[in-house]
Amino acid sequence: MEKNTVRIFWAADSTVQTNDITTYPQTGIGQVFPLYVREGVVVCNHAKNGRSTKSFMDEGRLAVIDSQIGEGDFLFIQFGHNDEKSEDPARYTEPFSTYMENLETYVNVARKHNACPVLITPLERRCFVDEKHLGMGAHSDYVAAMKQTAEKNHVALVDLYSMSRCELKKAGEPGSRRWYMYFDKNLYKNYPEGKLDNTHLRYEGAVMYAGLIARGLRELGGIYKELLLEVHT
């Protein structure tokens, strides 16, 4: 690794993971985030489909990051979708207890190596109740818990949840289909008509939501802004 290289390690779920041809056209945010970073910044995407803060640790995935991350690197921490699954004890966490405790464990892994943790609230699903109105979704307690964790531990936070809800509301139900793995006969001829997936992203959605995270980092300023390409508009 070059001396001036900065690495972003990403601990997260399927909305961030790097996909291959077996899951095409699904695309994760971490997969496309290199589009936004300056030369010398490398994205090390450890995100994995279906993982929560708990299962990611239980499978030794955080331990791998712990063994590799170093001073001046960043750890992006983005969970919530699978922590909510109360029917699955291997993944479920209580938002204001075990979820917060797990987030603090991730933060401490970064800090013991003099790396910088960043908490990123979970991406909203396409939880429309009709063509124009977005429902409440299932993330709200986990978003509040992550914000509390960030405040308590003085950790930088990017509120992707709020930004993504804003974009979904502006697009409406039909307009947001192009961002997610939603298929209809006008978009993909080889998929069943009306196949719904309101969580996972296609390329256009991944690029758009990665751009929201970049916006959040730019607004944080300082070392977080320095990760990004300069964009002149």
Could you confirm whether 193 is annotated as catalytic? yes
pLDDT for the residue numbered 230: 87
pLDDT for the residue numbered 33: 98
Could you confirm whether 14 is annotated as catalytic? yes
Taking CA atoms, 104 is separated from 6, 14, 152, 187, in Å, by 23, 21, 10, 42
Which position among 14, 55, 164, 176 bears the catalytic label? 14
pLDDT (tens digit, 0 to 9) for every residue of the chain, 233 residues total? Answer: 444 799 999 999 999 999 999 988 999 999 999 999 999 999 999 999 999 999 999 999 999 999 999 999 999 999 999 999 999 999 999 999 999 999 999 999 999 999 999 999 999 989 888 888 888 887 899 999 999 999 999 999 999 999 999 999 999 999 999 999 987 656 566 665 556 788 999 999 999 999 999 999 999 999 999 999 987 54
pLDDT for the residue numbered 19: 96
Which position among 59, 97, 162, 193 bears the catalytic label? 193
SS (H, E, C) the chain: CCCCCEEEEEEECCCCCCCCHHHCCCCCHHHHHHHHECCCEEEEECCCCCCCHHHHHHCCHHHHHHHHCCCCCEEEEECCCCCCCCCCCCCCCCHHHHHHHHHHHHHHHHHHCCCEEEEECCCCCCCECCCCCECCCCCHHHHHHHHHHHHHHCCEEECHHHHHHHHHHHHHHHHHHHHECCECCCCCCCCCCCECCCCCECHHHHHHHHHHHHHHHHHHCHHHHCCECCCCC
Report the candidate in 167, 76, 73, 68 with the shortest Cα–Cα distance to residue 125: 167
Which position among 46, 81, 139, 200 bears the catalytic label? 200
pLDDT for the residue numbered 132: 82
pLDDT for the residue numbered 233: 42
Report the candidate in 18, 39, 13 with the shortest Cα–Cα distance to residue 28: 18
Q: Where are the domains of the chain?
A: 6-225
pLDDT for the residue numbered 1: 44
CATH 3.40.50.1110 describes domain 6-225:
yes
pLDDT for the residue numbered 194: 54
